[in-house]
Structure 1
C-alpha cells in the first residue's frame, strides 16, 4: 500500500493579524475559520506568504471565535508578520485522492466562499 500526501484543507488569502515572538510557537486561528476549513487544533499546516514568499510548517492553536484572528507565534514570526497575506494548507496521507475543503476569506479574515465548490465550477471538462 502506497500512501501519498494530498491537500485536505486550505484557508486562502488570509491576513496575519499579529506576530508574537515570545509565544512558544505555532499559528493561532479563529475557531470559526477552523470549522469552515475542516482544520483541527494541533494539526500540522504549511503556511505560505503571498507577500514575501516565505514558507513554514507549524501546528494550529484554536483562537477565539468570531474574531478573524490569525497570529503567527514564536520563531515563525521572523518569517511572516502582521498584514501579510497567507495561504494555510493541511495535508493528509491516503491511498487515493481526498476531497479537500478550501475556503476564501477577505482581508479581515471573514468567510467569502467555499473554493472547493467554486473550483469545481471552473474545472475543465474531460472527455
Structure 2
C-alpha cells in the first residue's frame, strides 16, 4: 500500500513579491529549494498563516541567494508581500520505506534566512 507523507517543508517563509501578470506558480530561491530537495516544477502545497489560504501550485527556481518567495499568476491572489507561508512537498511510500524516513525541513527568519533545521520526530 502507498501512503502519502511529508517529504520537505520550508517553514515561515516571507512572501517577497506577488506578480499577478505571471502565468502561475511560486518562485523560490534555488538555494532554499536545494536545502529541502524540492525540484523545479515540482508540485507543492502552500499554507498562508496570515489569511488561512491553502493552495497547490508548482515551483519555479529563483536566483540562488535571492531569498525570494514570489506568488505568481492566480496564486498572487492568495497572499501579499509580507505574508508568512509554509511550503510542503509530499511523497508516496510503501509501508516498509517509512520506518527510517525523515523529512527535510527548514525554518526561516523574517528575511528568509535559514535559522535552523527543524528536527524530525
TM surpasses 0.5? yes
Q: Following TM superposition, by how much is the alpha carbon of 1:51 offset from its aligned partner in structure 2, in angstroms?
A: 0.8
SS in 1 for 2:58: strand
How far residue 65 of structure 1 moved from its aligned partner, in angstroms, is: 0.6
Structure 1 unaligned regions, length at least 5: 121-127
Q: Is 1:24 the counterpart of 2:27 in the alignment?
A: no
Shift of 1:75: 0.5
Q: What is aligned with 1:102?
A: 105
Residues in 2 aligned to 1:76 and 1:52: alpha-carbon distance in whole angstroms: 13
Structure 2: tracts of 5 or more residues without a match: none
For residues 67-106 of structure 1, what are the structure 2 equivalents within 5 Å? 67-96=66-95, 97=98, 98-106=101-109
Whole-Å Cα distance in 2 between the matches of residues 37 and 106 of structure 1? 16
TM-score for the superposition, normalised by structure 2? 0.93
How far the C-alpha of 1:102 sits from its partner, in A, is: 0.4
From the CA coordinates, give the structure whose radius of gyration is larger: 1
2: distance between equivalents of 1:113 and 1:36?
Answer: 11
Q: Would you say 1:115 and 2:118 are equivalent positions?
A: yes
Shift, 1:47, TM fit: 0.4
